[in-house]
Amino acid sequence: MGKRKLPQMTLIAVLLYALIKVLSLDSIGALNGYFMIIINRSLIFVILTVSLNLINGITGQFSLGHMGFAAVGAYVSGTITTLVLKLSPDVASSYPIFIGAIILGGIGAAIMGFVIGFPSLRLKGDYLAIMTLGFGEVIRIILNNINYVGGPRGLLGIPKFSTFTIIYAFTFFTIVLIRNLVQSSHGRAMLAVRENEVAAELVGVDTTRYKVLGFVVGAFFAGIGGGLLAHLLQIATPTQYGFYASALLLVYVYAGGMGSITGSIIAAFGLTFLSQFLQLGFDSLSNMTGINFGSEWTMVIYALLLILIMLYKTEGLMGMKEAKLLVIEEGTK
Amino acid sequence: MKPFALFAVLSLVLAGAFFSCGGGSKYVTVGAVGPVTGPAATFGISTKNGDTLAVDEWNANGGVLGKQIKMVFADDKGDPAEGATVYTKLIQQNKVCAIVGTVMSNVSLAGAPICQAAKIPMVATASTNPKVTEVGDYIFRACFIDPFQGTVGADFAYNNLKARRAACIYDLGNDYTKGLAEFFKAQFTKLGGKIVADEGHDHGVTDFKAQLTRIVQAKPDIIYNPDYYNDVALIAKQARELGFKGPLMGGDGWDSPDLVKIGGSAVEGCYFTNHYSKDDTRPVVQDFIKKYQAKFNEVPDALAVLAYDAMNLTLNAIKTAGSTKGPAIRDALAASDFQAVTGEIKFDANRNPIKSAVIIEIKNGQQQFVTTIAPTP
């Protein structure tokens, strides 16, 4: 038996949670609402990036339309909760329904993942990328044309259910579940598909099954992430889930390291914080010097930093390595 | 991680921390939001210019409440998630007393609940979707809403142009154009006109011949096309190629020098509704244009004007309220009766401005002011 390290992970997660909660207390005020919203966004991006990494980094497929899955999750869960809110306006008591809606959103996205997984059996590399890109756009255009969910105006009036605690819990479970999957025999099979499909097939890995599994599980968690995002912002619009957002996720995966869950977590957190701190840094520069630096320049610096990361760490920040905590040790004795 | 990256991150964190210590009560701090990067960047830059001009003027005249005004501008990137973040940043981090912005309706819709919860008044500049101010009583806007513009367009087409048969073509992927077309159709039918063709096109296409062929066959007197200028120019050209002789009509999305540059003679004799016209002779308009040109070396577009108006409106409300407290500013805003560049602004019960629209005709490649249409209650 290997050491599964789940107790350690849980302990650290709970401690981290308590720390953030204490720091965000009004009486301490170290983390105000602004920092909390960045943390919440980072956590959601962790879910989205880790789930994309499962498809791109671990199963070795290529998805350029990952936000399409998130859109399905956002719209399915958003529609359910807005309907429930209309029927019974008591927000506080509807948390179980909310969690159910988020999971249903994930299931909706997983069904889409299943549908998309099939063409991936015949397509590879660039061709698969184009197909998934098309899929993302199809989702966006379909949403644009359904008046019931607001068309291009977006789905409005979504209740604000996504609190830090909820998002944190979902992120924790996502990381644990994907980590366990990757390090199970299924995960090994997925890695084998990535490394060499023919060889994997030869040693008896059902490549079809594992490619589709990668898409289904990845899409499920993307749907969860999308649902949480919609209930954080209280709005879901088709453009939010377009190609640009999908490409951004891909940047996170590459910057963190293909196939490394740790890398995805670091990248999602680091880059979300980076873009915000750049803005704060520019603000204070303007304050100190009295010269007004436009906030538009932050994007230039951000892009330059990304280029530097890719130049000096071609394989991403973590490469394919994992933090010790996320590795299930093989017992050899 | 490489040391340099660590260093970069650390220095940014420090810079961020530095900032949070700064800021005193020497200033009245006002927030402004606009999409200066991303797909709507030109809108954001005009907005920022308008905001800056208004604040500079107030500061030159001694500021407000005896203090200088400090404007903190934040980039929403045209993305609701980023919008929610920067609205929170302005309120929590910069401790602004009011926020002016933003342009796109869906970004404003993400920011509005945050302002409402924090009781910080928000004046959206160009968010025309009716839902924005419905979020709560702290949310205002400086522009007229989609229903008004569509309705005015229909009134003008029916009464002034004597059109009886109208066709619509609009972008299915854009709530703004869709909304305008909806209200145009409703009003035109109500007046007794007939919508002979109703065609949507996908976002980002450049060939509209299929839809236009059906439209031209239906023999309309006028084509209502509330798209943005780049689509409009192409649609106008293609409609002329298919033999359409009558006028096209649209909304404030037409307001760009590029309309004539791309459309050429095809947009000649066409009309659109707008927030203001640079030919309006009222001194407040001419004065603004002169100042804007001196500072930014270009003719202000509607977005710059709306930002300028929204900022002035907000600062004026702070002055009237005599306080930087949210509820006081809110009450002063609700009671505003302000002479702005886009006309006199008063707010109705839904915090939408009651103000007039102007009709502009393209004549000899120039925008020509035709008439002002006052709001009908």
What tens digit of pLDDT does each residue of B48-100 get? Answer: 999 999 999 999 999 899 999 999 999 998 888 899 999 999 998 889 999 99
> In this structure, are residues B159 and B131 in contact, taking their beta carbons and an 8 Å threshold?
no
Give the Cβ contact number of residue B66 at 10 Å. 7
Q: Which amino acid type is present at position B285?
A: V
State the Cα–Cα distance between residues A69 and A74, nearest whole angstrom. 9
Can you spell out the DSSP letters for A116-166? HHTGGGT--HHHHHHHHHHHHHHHHHHHHT-GGGTGGG-B--------HHH
Strands ordered across the beta sheet of B353-354: B337-340, B343-347, B353-354
Same domain, B139 and B162: no
Q: Which residue of B has its CA nearest to A306?
A: B5
Assess if residue B323 is contained within a domain.
Answer: yes
Least confident of A223-232, A254-263, B272-281: B272-281
Q: What are phi and psi of A142, to 5 degrees?
A: -60, -45
Percent of chain A with pLDDT over 70: 94
| Dihedral angle of Cα B73, B74, B76, B80, to the nearest 10 degrees | -110
Q: What is the pLDDT of residues A69-116, one digit of tens each?
A: 999 999 999 999 988 888 877 766 678 889 999 999 999 999 999 988
Cβ–Cβ below 8 Å for B172 and A144: yes
Query: To 5 degrees, how large is the angle CA B244–CA B249–CA B255?
Result: 125
Say yes or no: B333 and B344 in one domain.
yes
B106, A285: Cβ pair inside 8 Å?
A: no
Residue B268 pLDDT grade (very low, low, confident, very high; cuts 50, 70, 90): very high
Distance (Å) from the C-alpha of residue B363 to the closest C-alpha of chain A? 33
> Do B235 and B350 lie in a common domain?
no
Flag whether residue A317 sits within 8 Å of chain B, measured between CB atoms: yes
Do A161 and A98 contact (CB within 8 A), yes or no?
Answer: yes
What is the Cβ-side half-sphere exposure of residue A141, based on CA atoms within 13 angstroms? Answer: 11
Query: Which range, of A25-34, A134-143, B113-122, averages the lowest pLDDT?
Result: A25-34
Pairwise CB contact (< 8 Å): B75 & A317 = no
pLDDT of residue B351: 92
Whether residues B26 and B130 fall in one domain = yes
Chain-chain contact of B91 with A33 (C-beta, under 8 angstroms): yes
ipTM of the complex: 0.82
Peptide bond into A81 cis (omega under 30): no
Among A37, A160, A295, beta carbon nearest to B85: A37
Nearest chain A CA: its distance from B279 CA (Å): 32
Please determine, for residue B377, whether its predicted confidence score (pLDDT) is greater than 90: no
Interface test with B, best of A39, A43, A240, A304 (most B CBs within 10 A): A240
Are residues B152 and B130 located together in one domain of the fold? no
**Which of A139, A232, A233 should one mutate to test binding to chain B, selecting the residue with the greatest count of B CBs within 10 A?**
A233
Question: What's chain B's average pLDDT?
Answer: 87
Among B49, B38, B97, residue whose Cα is nearest residue B288:
B49
Note whether A141 contacts B173, CB cutoff 8 Å.
yes
Contact A105, A94 (CB under 8 A): no
For chain A, which residues make up each domain, given as ranges? 6-326
Chain A contact probe: residue of B6, B29, B75, B77 with most A CBs at under 10 A: B75
Q: Number of structural domains, chain B?
A: 2
B83 is a domain residue: yes
Helix/strand/coil percent split, chain B, to 5: 50, 20, 30
In chain A the first and final C-alpha atoms are separated, in Å, by: 9
* Distance of residue B269 Cα from the nearest chain A Cα, in angstroms: 31
How many Cβ pairs within 8 Å bridge chains A and B? 133
Interface of A with B in 220-279 (CB under 8 A): 229, 232-235, 237-240, 270, 274, 276-279
Contact list in A for residue B178 (CB cut-off 8 A) is 151-153
Asked if residue B184 belongs to a domain, the reply is yes
**C-alpha span between B157 and B361 (Å, rounded):** 12
Query: Per the domain annotation, does B242 fall within a domain?
Result: yes
**Pick from B1, B15, B106: which is nearest to A235 by CB?**
B106
B1 in any annotated domain: no
Q: What percent of the residues of chain A are helix, what percent strand, and what percent coil, each to the nearest 5? A: 75, 0, 25
A38 interfaces chain B, CB cutoff of 8 Å: yes
Give the model's pLDDT for residue A293. 66
B153: nearest Cα among B342, B377, B376, B373 = B373
Would you mind telling me the total number of residues written for chain A in this entry? Answer: 333
In a domain, residue B342? The reply is: yes
Query: Per the CB < 8 Å rule, is A233 touching B110?
Result: yes
- For residue range B196-241, list pLDDT tens digits in order: 999 999 888 889 999 999 999 999 999 999 998 889 999 999 999 9
Report pLDDT for B8. 54
Question: Which DSSP string do the residues of B252-296 spell out, in sequence order?
Answer: GGG-STHHHHHHGGGGTT-EEEES--TT---HHHHHHHHHHHHHH
Mean pLDDT, rounded, for A31-50? 92
Q: How many helices and strands, by DSSP H and E, does chain B display?
A: 13, 15
Across all residues in chain A, what is the average pLDDT? 87
B25 in any annotated domain: yes
User: Could you tell me if A67 and A194 are in contact, meaning their C-beta atoms sit under 8 angstroms apart?
Assistant: no
Q: Answer yes or no: do B72 and A277 touch at CB < 8 A.
A: no
Place of tokens 């009583």: B137
Q: Whole-angstrom Cα distance, residue B61 to residue B120?
A: 25
Q: Least CB-CB distance to B16: which of A144, A160, A281?
A: A281
Q: Are residues B151 and B261 in the same domain?
A: yes
pLDDT of A247 higher than 50: yes
- Asked if residue B362 has pLDDT above 70, the reply is yes
- Are residues B168 and B267 both part of a single domain? yes
The rounded percent of chain B whose pLDDT value lies above 90 is 55
Does B129 contact chain A (CB < 8 Å)?
yes
Q: How many Å apart are CA A319 and CA A263, to the nearest integer? A: 7
CATH code that applies to domain A6-326: 1.10.3470
Closest chain A residue to the Cα of B85, Cα to Cα: A37
Specify the pLDDT at position A332. 45
Q: Residue B181: which domain range? A: 147-274
CB nearest B75 (choices: A232, A295, A309): A295
| C-alpha span between B100 and B50 (Å, rounded) | 11
Is there a domain that residue B6 lies in?
no
CATH number at residue B96: 3.40.50.2300
Between residues 160 and 219 of chain A, which touch chain B (CB distance below 8 Å)? 160
CA distance B285 to chain A (A): 27
Which member of B4, B44, B81 has the closest CB to residue A41?
B81
Amino acid at A203: V
Of B5, B88, B106, the CB nearest to A37: B88
Edge to edge, what strands does the sheet with B165-171 contain? B194-201, B165-171, B222-224, B248-250, B271-274, B357-363, B366-373
pLDDT band at A3 (very low <50, low <70, confident <90, very high): low
**Interface test with chain B among A164, A239, A243, A275, by most B beta carbons within 10 Å:** A239
How confident is the model at residue A32, as a pLDDT? 85
What is the per-residue pLDDT for B1? Answer: 44
| Sequence-distant contacts of A192-195: CB under 8 A, at least 24 apart | A193/A59, A193/A60, A194/A57, A194/A58, A194/A59, A194/A60, A194/A259, A195/A60
What local confidence, expressed as pLDDT, does residue B4 receive? Answer: 52
